[in-house]
A = this chain, B = another copy of it.
């Protein structure tokens, strides 16, 4: 019998880790027995796709699944669905588990443990928030519950309130509009999408209103009202916004209840601490990855909690390689992200102005307006690029893009520049591609870098 590996959490990080561990072990001539526990009904799915399922762009949950439990089983992973890990004794090397269908409990021994417990939607501590009709949207099970609620007959919901204007919030608000609901989005920030600076977030605000969404900013939620077992409204800033369904888009926090109870170290962000190999420091044989861990931000050189599928997948791959006997490291992140509101594309990488200030980085900001294609070429769309560069060195610190089709993926060009510590002076002269159907002769990325460079040189 091989080394026993228990994986807690059957989504991207956990299952990628499990698969990669088996691959690495085979290569290294090691023998692993891998058991994976998943309390939900699905494995290895795209949580980022849930809003598009709600919107109807994606027909079924099955389409969001990269690999189902049986596929994992065929590859040698003992996947146990609807099974929740209820406790961990790290020193003894045991996990207690509960079958959520039967209530049966069991105890699993492990030589190595992978924690990939994910994240949970943030619920503000206000009256009624745990009442009926208030939905988080983090797992496929959450998505299924929301879709069920929206299809309620008779008397399906007509009015939705979305609380919070981050990625999930704006994506779900759009999904609701497309399902024909009348939607109010309540956000405590001055502009939605606080992953951008407010001047860029203002475009998101306009796009949401352009879809007919009632956007209420600078307003915190005070409570949720319900009656007769149904949600009736959201109280915010002294006003009650009528609601037949409420969705929380306030972001998520790492799910670390088990880890904390087991005495495993948590960082300041609330996420589990891990080293570059995704090992939990001080606990040999214990690993963690995905939305439950914190990640090192290479630009601010601080630990952050950025729950994204990209990181979960990469971390899972690194973790698995190491656990199976190989060697790999996770190099950290630069907080790159992209999203879409109606036909407005939004992207960011690196630091926002507020982040740079917090980190004590003196900087200049350049904002340019350009087009996605040569101005004379059919289909050219507006694009605005904002870059932050460090005073003195000219080092790129961050960038944000808002625009229409073909705008936002340019953030990757900036992300790689940032990753490599390029200055805006150097970036302005990089050999980027050009042809009239793809960009002006000076790509907007170059124009923005050149403007920042000029500002720095006076």
Of the listed stretches A265-273, A356-364, A384-392, A440-448, chain B binds: A440-448
A57 contact set on B, CB distance < 8 A: 377-378
Q: Tell whether A442 pairs with B409 under 8 Å between CB atoms, given A330-B429, A335-B431.
A: no
Q: Tell whether A336 pairs with B431 under 8 Å between CB atoms, given A57-B378, A63-B376.
A: yes
A435 CA to B337 CA in the complex, in Å?
A: 8
Q: Tell whether A376 pairs with B433 under 8 Å between CB atoms, given A331-B426, A441-B313.
A: no
A88 CA to B406 CA in the complex, in Å?
A: 47
Q: Tell whether A12 pairs with B406 under 8 Å between CB atoms, given A412-B432, A413-B413.
A: no
Q: What count of chain A residues pass the 8 Å CB interface test? A: 64
A336 contact set on B, CB distance < 8 A: 431-433
Residues of chain A from 292 to 309 with CB closer than 8 A to chain B in the complex: 308-309
Residue of A336, A378, A430 most packed against chain B (CB within 10 A): A430
Instruction: From the candidates B376, B416, B432, name the one contacting A310 in the complex (CB within 8 A).
Output: B432
Q: Could you tell me the distance in whole angstroms from the C-beta of A315 to the nearest C-beta in chain B? A: 10
Residue of A46, A58, A408 most packed against chain B (CB within 10 A): A46
A438 contact set on B, CB distance < 8 A: 338, 340, 345, 408-409
Instruction: From the candidates B58, B330, B408, B419, name the one contacting A433 in the complex (CB within 8 A).
Output: B408
Q: Tell whether A409 pairs with B309 under 8 Å between CB atoms, given A46-B374, A374-B49, A430-B415.
A: no
Instruction: From the candidates B48, B378, B410, name the one contacting A434 in the complex (CB within 8 A).
Output: B48
A410 CA to B339 CA in the complex, in Å?
A: 17
A12 contact set on B, CB distance < 8 A: 441
Is A417 positioned at the interface, with any CB of B under 8 Å from its CB? Answer: yes
Is A153 positioned at the interface, with any CB of B under 8 Å from its CB? Answer: no
A417 contact set on B, CB distance < 8 A: 416, 420
Q: Could you tell me the distance in whole angstroms from the C-beta of A458 to the nearest C-beta in chain B? A: 9
Instruction: Write the chain B residue with the least CB distance to A422.
Output: B420
A310 contact set on B, CB distance < 8 A: 431-432, 434, 441-442
Is A180 positioned at the interface, with any CB of B under 8 Å from its CB? Answer: no
Is A278 positioned at the interface, with any CB of B under 8 Å from its CB? Answer: no
- Tell whether, in the assembled complex, residue B333 and residue A436 are in contact, meaning their CB atoms are under 8 Å apart: no
Q: Could you tell me the distance in whole angstroms from the C-beta of A90 to the nearest C-beta in chain B? A: 28
Is A334 positioned at the interface, with any CB of B under 8 Å from its CB? Answer: yes
A426 contact set on B, CB distance < 8 A: 331
A63 CA to B167 CA in the complex, in Å?
A: 39
Is A411 positioned at the interface, with any CB of B under 8 Å from its CB? Answer: yes
Q: Could you tell me the distance in whole angstroms from the C-beta of A378 to the nearest C-beta in chain B? A: 5
